[in-house]
Homo-oligomer: A and B are copies of this chain.
Amino acid sequence: MTDLLIRNLRPMGAPATDLLIRGGRIAEIASGITAPGIATEDAGGAIATPGLVEAHTHLDKTVMGMGWYENAVGTDLRSMINNERRARRELGLDPARQSMRHALALVGNGTTHIRSHVDVDTDNGLSVLEGVLKTRDTLRGVVEIEIVAFPQSGLMIRPGTLELLDEAMAMGADLVGGLDPCGIDRDPKGHLDAIFALADKHGRGIDIHLHEPGDMGAFSLELILERTAALGMKGKVAVSHAFCLGMPDWNRVEVLLAELAEQDVAILTTGAPSREVPNLKRVRGAGLRMGAGCDGVLDTWNPWNRPDMLDRARIVAQKNNLRADADLALALDLVTTGGAAVMGVMDHRLAVGNPADLALLPGRTLAEAVAMGGPVQLTVKGGRVTGRGGKPVMEAP
Contacts and interface: CB of A to CB of B under 8 A. Distances in A.
Contacts of A61: none
A368 to B, nearest CB: 4
Main secondary structure of the interface of A (DSSP, over half): loop
A68 B272 CA distance: 28
A319 B68 contact: no
In the assembly, how many copies of this chain are there?
2
Q: How large is the interface on A (under 10, 10 to 19, 20 to 34, 35 or more residues)?
A: 20 to 34
A71 B273 contact: no
Contacts of A318: 272-274, 304, 315
Interface in A300-350: 301-304, 314-315, 317-321, 323-326, 328
A319 B371 contact: no
A326 B321 CA distance: 30
A68 B364 contact: yes
A394 to B, nearest CB: 24
Given A303-B371, A371-B304, A72 B324 contact: yes
A70 B274 contact: no
A323 B73 contact: yes
A73 B301 contact: no
Residue of A68, A324, A363 with most partner-chain B CB within 10 A = A68
Nearest to A300: B323
A2 interface: no
B274 A71 contact: no
A127 interface: no
A338 to B, nearest CB: 19
Interface in A262-317: 271-274, 298, 301-304, 314-315, 317
Nearest to A316: B273
A25 to B, nearest CB: 32
A365 interface: yes
Given A274-B318, A317-B304, A71 B368 contact: no
Interface string A233-275: 0000000000000000000000000000000000000011110
5 contacts: A67-B364, A71-B325, A71-B367, A273-B315, A303-B371
